[in-house]
């Protein structure tokens, strides 16, 4: 038998989702069979897979001892440094500045030094994250950045905050603002451009089409030129959709590739300015949450990164 006391981070989940996280070694077919046979109980009574958990509930699973063994805690995050450039933090979220060259999550090469592991390590050291007290939750990133893109990334410190921020992203209530230097001017000084995007996972590249095409998904990218020097432009970009490589591929598609981009950019211009990492930074976050949201107080926060290094190099007079 295995018994779980539901805490705040476990609450709000369906019974089956919770069991899948709390007992990952249990096959789903077995879990559903146990529920049908009344061998998984909620507060001592029969439950269904769709019952929602609340803090203080008791979930009991009648199962063989080998499956009832304590969940092995993954403490590999302690191998990552706890060094972190925190831009904003409260009891619900943490906004960190990710430097270029650092992966947001593990890249499959067994590298433990990732942004999320640094965040977990920091919260573990501060006592805010105790893996042994959690059955189904760990601090999580609400978004990610490419390895060679620097900038702000939001992490949720609680399950409730993770749900709220993810909902804000889906509804467009969290605005992500980027700054970049383009090798050539965009077609207009400001615009919101629409195109269609398809990711080629095997080659890790995306294709952009101006017309709706099978297998392509719509993207919308807003931009404003802040300054121009010769062919180079300092551009502020607002994402209205969030697809892989969207900014880099979309701007390249309209003739304004990001300076330093080796995948979608202009190699000759990159060589001329001796810049070989994309001049792109997730510069600011702005929340526009409904007043009913428990995180609506974030609407007053102005969360900005330090001026990107590439901006200080090419456009030092612009703030």
Res. 110 pLDDT band, cuts 50 70 90: low
Of 245, 239, 169, nearest to 201 (Cα)?
245
Of 16, 39, 36, nearest to 28 (Cα)?
16
Q: Where does 201-231 show beta strands of DSSP type E? A: 205-209, 217-229
**Is 111 found in the same domain as 52?**
no
If one counts the domains in the chain, the total is 3
CA 314 to chain centre: 29
Is the separation of the CB atoms in 84 and 119 below 8 Å?
A: yes
CATH number for position 157:
3.30.2350.10
Q: How far apart are CA 16 and CA 61, in angstroms?
A: 12
**Is 288 found in the same domain as 201?**
yes
Q: Is residue 319 part of a domain?
A: no
Q: Is residue 267 part of a domain?
A: yes
Within 10 Å of residue 289's Cβ, how many Cβ atoms?
Answer: 19
Of 254, 266, 249, nearest to 183 (Cα)?
266
**Is 147 found in the same domain as 96?**
yes
Res. 150 pLDDT band, cuts 50 70 90: very high
**Is 63 found in the same domain as 124?**
no
Instruction: Tell me what pLDDT residue 143 has.
Output: 87
CATH number for position 64:
3.10.290.10
Quick: pLDDT tens for 8-32.
Answer: 999 999 999 999 999 988 899 999 9
**Is 82 found in the same domain as 46?**
no
31's enclosing H/E stretch is helix 28-36
Domain boundary among 140, 171, 202: 171
What is the average pLDDT score of the chain? 93
Instruction: Tell me what pLDDT residue 109 has.
Output: 65
Phi, psi of 22 (to 5 degrees): -75, -30
Q: Is 311 in a helix, a strand, or coil? A: helix
Q: How far apart are CA 90 and CA 28, in angstroms?
A: 36
**Is 148 found in the same domain as 122?**
yes
pLDDT value at 267 more than 90: yes
Instruction: Give residue 34's domain range.
Output: 2-68
Q: Where does the chain show beta strands of DSSP type E? A: 2-5, 40-42, 45-46, 58-61, 85-89, 93-98, 140-141, 150-156, 174-182, 190-200, 205-209, 217-229, 232-239, 280-287, 303-304
Quick: pLDDT tens for 159-203.
Answer: 999 999 999 998 989 999 999 999 999 999 999 999 999 999 888
Give whole-number Cα distances, 79 to 38, 72, 120, 287, in Å: 42, 17, 11, 33
Give whole-number Cα distances, 141 to 161, 243, 315, 316, in Å: 11, 16, 31, 31
Quick: pLDDT tens for 28-53.
Answer: 999 999 999 999 999 999 999 999 99
Q: Is residue 203 part of a domain?
A: yes
Give whole-number Cα distances, 4 to 48, 71, 98, in Å: 16, 12, 36
Q: How far apart are CA 133 and CA 155, in angstroms?
A: 19
- Give the mean model confidence (pLDDT) for residues 68-80: 82
Domain boundary among 120, 150, 171: 171
Q: How far apart are CA 309 and CA 319, in angstroms?
A: 12
**Is 122 found in the same domain as 148?**
yes
pTM equals 0.87
pLDDT over 90, % of the chain: 83
């Amino acid at each position: 038998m295995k018994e779980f006391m539901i805490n705040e981070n476990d609450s709000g989940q369906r019974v089956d989702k919770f069991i899948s996280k709390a007992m990952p070694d249990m096959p789903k077919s077995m879990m559903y069979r146990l529920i049908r046979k009344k061998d998984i109980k909620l507060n001592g009574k029969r439950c269904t897979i769709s019952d929602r958990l609340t803090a203080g509930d008791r979930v009991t699973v009648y199962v063989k001892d080998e499956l009832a063994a304590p969940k092995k805690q993954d403490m590999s995050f302690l191998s990552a440094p706890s060094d972190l450039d925190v831009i904003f933090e409260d009891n619900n979220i943490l906004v960190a500045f990710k430097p270029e060259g650092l992966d947001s999550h593990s890249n499959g090469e067994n590298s433990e030094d990732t942004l999320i592991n640094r965040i977990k390590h920091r919260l573990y050291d501060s006592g805010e994250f105790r893996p042994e007290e959690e059955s189904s939750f760990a601090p999580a990133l609400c978004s990610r950045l490419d390895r060679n893109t620097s900038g702000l990334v939001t992490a949720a410190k609680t399950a409730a905050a993770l749900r709220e921020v993810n909902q804000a992203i889906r509804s467009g209530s969290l605005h992500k603002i980027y700054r970049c230097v383009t090798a050539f001017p965009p077609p207009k000084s400001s615009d919101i451009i629409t195109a269609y995007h398809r990711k080629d996972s095997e080659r890790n590249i995306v294709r952009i089409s101006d017309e709706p095409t099978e297998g392509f998904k719509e993207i919308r990218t807003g931009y404003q030129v802040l300054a121009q020097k010769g062919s180079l432009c300092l551009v502020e970009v607002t994402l209205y959709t969030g697809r892989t490589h969207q900014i880099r591929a979309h701007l390249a598609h309209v003739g304004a590739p990001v300076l330093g981009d080796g995948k979608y950019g202009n190699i000759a211009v990159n060589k001329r300015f001796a810049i070989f990492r994309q001049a792109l930074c997730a510069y600011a976050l702005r929340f526009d949450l409904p007043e009913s949201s428990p995180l609506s107080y974030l609407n007053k926060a102005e969360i900005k990164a330090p001026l990107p290094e590439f901006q200080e190099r090419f456009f030092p007079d612009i703030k």
